[in-house]
Amino acid sequence: MLVAKSKGMWYTAYIMKAVVSVIGIDRTGIIAAVSGKLAEWQINIEDISQTIMQNNFVMIMLVDTSSSALELDKIGAMLQASVEHLGVTVHVQHEDLFNAMQRV
Amino acid sequence: MFTNNEIIETIDMLDNRHLDVRTVTLSLSLVDCIDSSVGKCCDKVYEKITRVCKRLVPVCESLSKRFGVEIVNKRIAVTPISIIGASCGGYTELCKTLDRAGRELGVDFIGGYSALVHKSATAAENAFLDTLPQALSETEIVCGSVNVASSKTGINLDAVGKLGRVIKDLAYRTRDINSFGCGKLVVFCNAVDDNPFMAGAFTGISEGDCSVNVGVSGPGVVEYEINKHPDYDITSVCELIKRTAFKITRLGQLIGSAAAKELGLPCGIVDLSLAPTPAVGDSVARVLESIGLSRVGSCGTTAALALLNDAVKKGGVMAANRVGGLSGAFIPVSEDAGMIDAVRAGALNIEKLEAMTAVCSVGLDMIAVPGDTSAAVISAMIADECAIGMINNKTTAVRIVPVYGKTVGDEVDFGGLFGTAPIMAVNGGDPSAFIARGGVVPPPIHANKN
């Protein structure tokens, strides 16, 4: 939750942040495919990192979905479907999951 | 931002280690539905359940996608029907109403066909107990429970005797489905008011109008973590279990809070549980084996289970806003691949399971015994478990299936989450004269604390 000031009044604005993780075999075009779709859906990438872990390509993004018309519940399945041909597994999960499990 | 390792670990737990939310259980009071007319009472019950719980399943499905977390069961727990139906007497009609309402909403189970007779039973409650075989054999998703003992009141041996006969009758009536009706009935000592787990979930009379209770599961995660550290001493193993239980419970709290918020209902308790399924990698028995036993059931099993149970609670308590339910490791036999293997190999018997129930969450759970086991023997098994619970101030339970027409050496498949059960041998001897005495076993001296 973000507290914002507008026209002299304080408002609470909900920001919907999600973690996008992409795991699979490295090949060209993965980042382009994922970020292209996110841009198309008005989802802003706030942070991005990419690494190779145990021979797997791992890309993790923190994204803000509050400007998108799509509900977070649906984005995961849609993104997975659109990058299926690249042979990668995609998860889109609300950041609260990671806050709950990885932070005291 | 989180580290890559934190994110990958979380996803690995959810995708590969069977970490899930076992149940979101909506606890609902039906006290305001009491009516002297059977028809009106049933109508009020149906209307209230379908109105308050209408969005339970869709909300859970939406949360499941939002967090990428499987919510295995959606359930409803209601006020014991022995109380709601006492005025009108239409217990089986109410049971069928619960079944219809639950199936209409798409929930997996609806619990609360229950009675609390741990000190004594009223005439209405005795009439209710007599309806259990018919009601549970003629419905699909209704679960029943009876609290027959407590540390404060002692053991109601009359009710214990009656329940033995009820279980035998229920086994016979559901003989076409391997007597599975008995899997929907649990007999308790020290039953709790806010248990989200079936078959024993009901909304206790101390509860409010409604709340959202959650039960988590994750033995696969605990087993995986312990297996990574064969060099740890037992103190470090306990610490590792606590840290893992913290994460598992936090997931339950997250889902419980989110579900309560979306449903506009109060958030209830998190049950700090390790609940297995028959799937490979989702077994409490395997956790015990990862601590260092070649097979569950061997000497050392009770000690390993005691430390596991305690560490799960210690890790979970800090992760949950409110703790409740049964909270501890479950040891159902048919629902746990490791337990099934141990019984098949002859390593695990009922006597060892009984010892294990003294240090963990519940009791003799989902155990199949020969169909010719007498009602008195079943009652005596219940009495033994009640004694353990009563003396040790803990919840114990018996959910036992005397499978009609089967004997030791046979195996029955209950399907789905209920798994496979090898028929287990029961000790010989005849306790029928003990059970036939009836009356009440007085509570232990430490019940008199005032």
Are A87 and A33 within 8 A, CB to CB? no
- Residue in A closest to B1 by C-alpha: A62
Query: Looking at the domain assignment, is residue A91 inside a domain?
Result: yes
Chain B interface includes A70 (CB < 8 A): no
Query: Looking at the domain assignment, is residue A7 inside a domain?
Result: no
pTM of the model: 0.93
Query: Looking at the domain assignment, is residue A74 inside a domain?
Result: yes
Place of tokens 């550290």: B229
pLDDT tens digits, one per residue of B157-213 = 999 999 999 999 999 999 999 999 999 999 999 999 999 999 999 999 999 999 999
Query: Looking at the domain assignment, is residue A4 inside a domain?
Result: no
Chain A interface includes B12 (CB < 8 A): no
Residues B10, A97: C-beta atoms closer than 8 Å: yes
Query: Looking at the domain assignment, is residue A42 inside a domain?
Result: yes
Count of structural domains, chain A: 1
pLDDT of residue B328: 86
Cβ neighbors of B12 (< 8 A, separation 6 or more) are none
pLDDT tens digits, one per residue of A59-99 = 999 999 999 999 999 999 999 999 999 999 999 999 999 99
Average pLDDT estimate for A15-34: 91
Task: Count Cβ–Cβ pairs < 8 Å, chain A vs chain B.
Answer: 64
> Under DSSP, is residue B72 helix (H, G, I), strand (E, B) or coil?
strand
Residues B254, A76: C-beta atoms closer than 8 Å: no
* C-alpha to C-alpha distance for B56 and B331, rounded to whole angstroms: 28
Domain that includes residue A33, residue range: 16-102
Nearest CB to B67; choose among A53, A77, A94: A94
Query: Looking at the domain assignment, is residue A11 inside a domain?
Result: no
Q: Looking at residue A90, which CATH number applies to its domain?
A: 3.30.70.260
Angle at B236 between CA B232 and CA B238, to 5 degrees: 120
* C-alpha to C-alpha distance for B188 and B166, rounded to whole angstroms: 14
pLDDT of residue A12: 46
Instruction: With cut-offs at 50, 70 and 90, classify the pLDDT of residue A6.
Output: low
pLDDT tens digits, one per residue of B389-425 = 999 999 999 999 999 999 999 999 998 889 999 999 9
Extract the runs of DSSP E, i.e. beta strands, from B205-266. Answer: 210-217
- Alpha carbon distances (Å) from B132 to B49, B101, B110, B137, B208: 21, 19, 15, 8, 26
- Alpha carbon distances (Å) from B236 to B181, B212, B240, B380: 43, 34, 6, 40
Query: Looking at the domain assignment, is residue A95 inside a domain?
Result: yes
pLDDT of residue A7: 55
pLDDT per residue, tens digit, chain B (450 aa), is: 788 889 999 999 999 899 999 999 999 999 999 999 999 999 999 999 999 999 999 999 999 999 999 999 999 999 999 999 999 999 999 999 999 999 999 999 999 999 999 999 999 999 999 999 999 999 999 999 999 999 999 999 999 999 999 999 999 999 999 999 999 999 999 999 999 999 999 999 999 999 999 999 899 999 999 999 999 999 999 999 999 999 999 999 999 999 999 999 999 999 998 999 998 889 999 999 999 999 999 999 999 999 999 999 999 999 999 999 999 889 999 999 999 999 999 999 999 999 999 999 888 999 999 999 999 999 999 999 999 999 999 999 999 999 999 999 999 999 888 999 999 999 989 999 999 999 999 999 999 888
pLDDT of residue B415: 87
* C-alpha to C-alpha distance for B404 and B408, rounded to whole angstroms: 12
* C-alpha to C-alpha distance for B315 and B331, rounded to whole angstroms: 19
Chain A interface includes B321 (CB < 8 A): no
pLDDT of residue B344: 95
Would the pLDDT of A11 be above 80?
A: no
How far apart are the CA of A7 and the nearest CA of chain B, in angstroms? Answer: 30
pLDDT of residue B90: 96
Residues A93, B4: C-beta atoms closer than 8 Å: no
Helical residues (DSSP H) of chain A, grouped into ranges? 30-40, 72-82, 95-102
How far apart are the CA of B244 and the nearest CA of chain A, in angstroms? Answer: 9
Query: Looking at the domain assignment, is residue A39 inside a domain?
Result: yes
pLDDT of residue B186: 98
